[in-house]
Amino acid sequence: MVNLNLVLCGVVESWLKNSKELMDAELLNTEWAWYGLDRKRRWGGGLGFLVKKSLKPRVRNVSKCNNLLWLEINSGTSVWYVALVYLIPKDRDTNEVTISELLRTLVDFDGKGKVVVMGDFNSRVGELPNILN
């Protein structure tokens, strides 16, 4: 049996509305907490972290971008800053704002602790397809 010791999970495109109330009810009396941004439009959207409460998680509201969420966690020996990013397919303008905000806020946390960036970047390698035949 594999023990992953999962302590943090980033969720993109959660499709949740009122995620705090929903997830607080689902996670009641557990060791887990939800920190998220609800979707703003009808299709897609929504970011969130599912994280163990023992890590003393804190959302860092350093960006006004709806596609970027920062969480600060304390592992006991070090502080971690984790960015959750979602880049929208074929929405160059929004994605440029998101990347710009990611870079700006990344500089703020550099040197204060360990930094991790995760998410759905909807990236391609040149013109290569992203499917396997």
Reported as type and span, the H/E element at residue 1 is none
CA separation for the pair 63, 107 (Å, rounded): 12
Domain covering 8-120 assigned CATH 3.60.10.10 in the classification: yes
- Strand partners for 118: 84
- And the tokens for 73? 């966690």
Q: Which residues contact 85 (CB under 8 A, 6 or more apart)?
A: 12, 67, 68, 98, 102, 117, 118, 119, 120, 121
pLDDT digits (tens), the chain, 133 positions: 566 677 999 988 777 777 788 888 889 999 999 998 876 665 666 889 999 999 999 999 777 788 899 999 998 888 999 999 988 888 889 889 999 999 999 988 988 999 999 998 877 666 666 665 5
Domain ranges of the chain: 8-120
What is the arrangement of strands in the sheet containing 114-120, beginning at the earlier edge strand? 58-60, 68-74, 79-86, 114-120
Please tell me the pTM assigned to this model: 0.82
Residue 89 has what pLDDT? 83
